[in-house]
Amino acid sequence: MKGVLQTLTEKVDPAHAALIVVDVQNDFCASEGYFGRTNQDLSMIQRMVPRLVRFIDEARRAGVMVVFIRSIYDAPFLSGPMKERNVRRGLVEQRCLSGTWGADFYRVRPEPGEVIITKHRYSAFHGTELDGVLRSAGIRTTIVTGVTTNVCVESTARDAYFHDYYVVFVNDGTATTNEDFSGATSEEIHRWTTINMRLTFGVVCNADEIANIWATAAASHKRMADAERR
Out of 23, 27, 29, 205, the active site residue is: 23
Answer yes or no: 2 catalytic: no
Chain centroid to Cα 102, Å, comes to: 18
Domains, the chain, with CATH or none: 8-229 (3.40.50.850)
Identify the pLDDT of residue 149: 98
Identify the pLDDT of residue 218: 75
pTM score, two decimals?
0.94
Identify the pLDDT of residue 54: 98
Identify the pLDDT of residue 180: 63
Out of 96, 152, 159, 205, the active site residue is: 152
Instruction: Give the residue from 139, 138, 191 showing the smallest Cα distance to 169.
Output: 191
Identify the pLDDT of residue 153: 98
Phi, psi of 203, rounded to the nearest 5 degrees: -100, 135
Identify the pLDDT of residue 179: 67
Out of 13, 27, 119, 159, the active site residue is: 119
Phi, psi of 169, rounded to the nearest 5 degrees: -100, 120
Q: What is the pLDDT of residues 139-193, one digit of tens each?
A: 999 999 999 999 999 999 999 999 999 999 999 999 999 866 678 899 999 999 9
Q: What is the pLDDT of residues 144-156, one digit of tens each?
A: 999 999 999 999 9
Q: Which residues of the chain have pLDDT under 50?
A: none
Identify the pLDDT of residue 183: 82
